[in-house]
Structure 1
Amino acid sequence: MWQDEAFTYDMAHRTLPDLWATLGGADAVHGLYYLLMHGVFRLWDGGLVALRLPSVLAMAGAAAGVAALGRRLAGPRAGLAGGLVFALLPAVQRYAQEGRSYALVTALVVAGTWTLVRACGSRRRLWWICYFALALLSCLLHEFAVLAPAAHGVALLAARASRAVLVCWATAVCATAAAVAPLVLLSLGQSGQVAWIEVSPGGDVLGFALIAGVGVLCAAVHRRSGSGGGAPPRGLPGGRRPPAGTPATLALPLLLVPPAALLLASLVKPLYVDRYVLYAQAGLALLVGAALDALWRSGRARPAVALATAAAVLAAVGPVGTQLRGPQSRTDDVGAIAEAVREAALPGDGVLFLPAGRRVWTFGHEPATYGAVDLALAEPRQRAHTLLDTEVPAAVIPGRVLHVSRVVVVREPDRERHEASARDEAKKAALREHFTRCARSSVGTARIEVYEHGDHC
């Protein structure tokens, strides 16, 4: 379990009144997800398995949805290939086994995309009502899911959809935006929670460019095969082309528009994190599936396609899949860190966190449970209705530190630089003036240091 999952676990185990009160000041963007997980744990408090099971099931449903979309747009083989490709994508494997909302959002976006295709080919209003409901649910689970309907709009324009279809889509999107607006306004007041985001040109931008390039290449292969031209896909009822267009018409906007929009917004305020638009991977899977089907039908490329596919599958389920399912795939391991802190601390020792947010590493294993003292703690988070425990004023901290002869410091240097505060400076000053560092160890990004009072160990 890493720190984000620790927040899920902690929030989902609070009472409903406490949860509601906390969301008014922090993490409102994940409120519906925490409520859902609260219900899961009320039914079965199965620890890490219960925490991750909804994500596993949701991503399995998303894979089935991608296969259904590919079948409807390009035929059975393209659908099967797209669904399997989706399940093997590293990002999908990662978030399929993580206790956060991203897998559920992806499943809802995929379901909404399939519903849009059905709505475009039907005169029944029920499909548009379902599309609105799915879009609303996905946006309530995570606000950046609103970029998926925007991608759908681009796809409809590219497919030259009828005026009636565009009106129905616009009505559903406007209704979704109106319903989500209160949550957006509330979360704008909590924007400090994303102050840690930094967009890297060499990582984020280049990564998006590479994935976009693969998607565009796959679309070109599919078009060149003739499937994107006059001949309708073989797997469609009655040999008709879907009103929502070809796989490339629908999948390219889904792949490109959400991450590109977040990257552009990051020029003003950094907001881009790939998992926030994880559902864009469905567009990539659709394009790769359609391209594989096109290459297979060409006949001459079958040996190369079979060899490349086998190598990709072996890599995805072998070294890549193994790495993604190990602790090293996470930025931290809260269980391992909490155990290391417990081993370093003796009864009566003080514990300090630098910065204060690193208390998340000891959620459920607080210093008090093994006889140590959290020196800066003012009020537990559950009682204060906050995401993190509340600390005492900076002026009080030195006096508390001097009451103990030994201090265990839990710190993350990178976070210290971005989350500097007067309280943290008071902690450092007290240690620097009155204590000597006698031991130091690392667990992932965590640094655990032991200080003893005086000028020697």
Structure 2
Amino acid sequence: MGVTAQPVSRWRTRNWRVSVTAVTLAGAIARLVGDRDSIAWDEVYLYSWVHGKGFGQMMHLVAVKEKTPPLGFVLAWISDQLGSSPSLIRIPSLIAGVALIPLVAALGRRLGGQRTGLVAALLVAVSPFLVFYSVEARSYSLTVALCTASTLLLVRALKDGRRADWAAYSLLAALALMSHYTAFAVLAGQALWALAAFPRNRKSILLSQAGPVLAAVIWLPWLKQQVDNSSDELHRIAAISPLDFGNVSAIIGHSLVGHPLTSIARLPGQWGLGLVLVGVAIAAVALVVDRVRGRAPREPMGRPNIWLLVVLALAPLALALGVSLQPGQSMLLARNLITAVPAAALLVATLLASRGKAVLLISAGLVTTGLALGTVIELRDVQRPATGAAADAIASRWKPGDRVIDLCCLSGGDGPLGTALALQLTKGPRASLTVLSRGGDSAYAASLKTNGRVFIVGYQLPRASAPIFYAPPKAWATRFHRTWAREWPGLVKTVAWEFSQR
């Protein structure tokens, strides 16, 4: 019936564990490099809900203001107690993002064998999509790690039948559901596959659903408000990503080989995408040739196990498409497919690992290099806006009497505690800060009343000569001239300008 891979020697097991550890360390380094990014966009809202709040107040805000369940906020709240840096709220995502690598390795080993598990871990470690969300404070990384861990425990429980494994699976399924509602697709897929593939275990499978069902019942009093909040979000997504073939194919491509917020042409680029496609094609051709010649795969995966991965890879997409069929609603953002990525990586790894050593080394090397190229581009050129670096640069030059104008407050990027820039400024510059979207021309008018300098921070698009929203009135422009400038690359360029009196 599947589930269990071939046994291997103790020596090979030790080498496999060493290899997985090395891959995990490499993935951890990439994620720690990414963690240097400033908090941005939705992270600012999360920080506003947890920072300086009591536990009860935080839970109330999540229940009435948010659209996702509370586990990620609870863990972010705990992390925020460790110090004053806003980036502390990313600790749960970082831990989950690193933990996902050995979890995928262990699941691949259970389903297909050691080579399958190791190759899948390698793909997950260098995935630019997963690296990005491993340093995103929202609960996407936590959800995908919990879903993968629950799948691993389900497979183990079906094989061994231990009550402890069934109980642990039920608990992890509940935690996954309480981290993000998109986990429902994976949990439903797990249960349906298990019932179809292991009908003799029907009683244990059904009893194990008590965990997520109980969690949903406990959270039920707050669910309606969150559903209403989610409905507003789905309408906003529909305005920018309605249901059509182009948007569906785009989010699939971004989740598998790219980045959620930029084009595949930019990341991983033509070279990166080409390497991935050539690597997969080589393994696919080798598979066809071996089938024609009657050669058995090196690490055969049972059909039920393959069906499990297919179900888990398609279930999140099916959920997104189902919701997007509703008039005026859409779930077509790449982040909503994150729970499908481990299963997709395992399917690709199954293909790569099933051929001979030469094909494995060449094909896996090409695919890994293509994904790693995307991650290098992400960490070097496609960072989140560098508001933290801009805040540090201003703090080193700011003096009493100077003022700061914030042009960075784009839609959705401003939390109740202030903008991303405000959260990272020191006390003096923060007190002199005016946000343009709130103050309009008064932001410039206030600076006309001071004899000090004015610092302006904003986002600048490619080939533009000034930041977005930079439009000072004539009286201001004739009085000040620019005396200093800094810029930082990223998804959008962050610029800081200093103006002095003429």
Query: TM-score if structure 1 supplies the norm length?
Result: 0.69
> Does the 8 Å CA contact 2:252/2:337 hold for their aligned counterparts?
no
Alignment-derived partner of residue 323 in structure 1: 377
Any idea what SS the aligned residue of 1:295 has?
coil
Q: Which residue of 2 aligns with 1:436?
A: 477
Match of 1:364 among 418, 423, 443: 423
Alignment of 1:18-417 (within 5 A): 18-27=57-66, 29=68, 31-42=70-81, 44-45=82-83, 47=85, 51-121=89-159, 123-124=161-162, 126-156=164-194, 159=197, 161-162=199-200, 163-164=202-203, 167-168=206-207, 174-191=213-230, 192=232, 197=237, 198-199=240-241, 202=246, 205-208=249-252, 211=256, 246-267=304-325, 268-296=328-356, 302-317=357-372, 319-326=373-380, 328-339=381-392, 347-354=400-407, 355=409, 357-358=413-414, 359-366=418-425, 369-370=428-429, 373-375=432-434, 410-411=457-458
Alignment deviations for residues 66-110 of structure 1 (CA, whole Å, 9 cap, x no partner): 222222222333233323332232222333344442222222111
Structure 1 residues 7 and 173, CA gap change in structure 2 (3 angstroms): closer
- Once residues 287 and 225 of structure 2 are traced to their aligned partners in structure 1, the CA distance between those partners, rounded to angstroms, is 44
How many pairs align? 410
Asked whether the equivalents of residues 74 and 233 of structure 1 are also in contact (C-alpha less than 8 Å), the reply is: no
Deviations 1:291-317 (A, max 9, x none): 123213xxxxx4233222233344545
Measure, in 2, the Cα distance between the counterparts of 1:252 and 1:70. 13
Equivalent residue letter for 1:79: G
Residue 403 of structure 1 deviates from its aligned partner by 5.5
What is the identity, as a one-letter code, of the residue corresponding to 1:206?
A
1:419-434 mapped onto 2 (5 Å cutoff)? 432=473
Counterparts of 1:202 and 1:189 in 2: how far apart (Å)?
28
Greater displacement, 431-440 / 130-139: 431-440
Unmatched segments (≥5 aa) in structure 2: 1-37, 258-275, 462-468
Cα RMSD of the aligned pairs, angstroms, is: 4.7
Q: Distance in 1 between matches of 2:313 and 2:173?
A: 17
| C-alpha deviation, 1:38, in angstroms | 3.1
Cα distance, 1:370 vs structure 2: 2.6
Equivalent pair of 1:6/1:334 in contact (CA under 8 Å): no
Pick which of 159-168 and 108-117 moved more: 159-168
Q: 1:63 is aligned with what amino acid?
A: I
Please name the residue that 1:419 is paired with. Answer: none
- When residues 159 and 41 of structure 1 are mapped into structure 2, their CA distance, relative to the original with a 3 A threshold, is same
* Shift of residue 138, structure 1, vs aligned partner: 1.5
Contact 2:101/2:121 (<8 A) preserved:
yes
Q: For residue 278 of structure 1, give the secondary structure of its aligned residue in structure 2.
A: helix
Distance in 2, Cα, partners of 1:374 & 1:13: 20
- Structure 1 stretch 106-115 or stretch 178-187: which is displaced more? 178-187
Return the TM-score normalized by structure 2.
0.64
Match of 2:32 in 1: none
Q: Separation in 2 of the partners of 1:82 and 1:247?
A: 15
Q: Is the 8 A contact 1:407 1:451 kept in 2?
A: yes
Percent identity between the aligned chains? 23
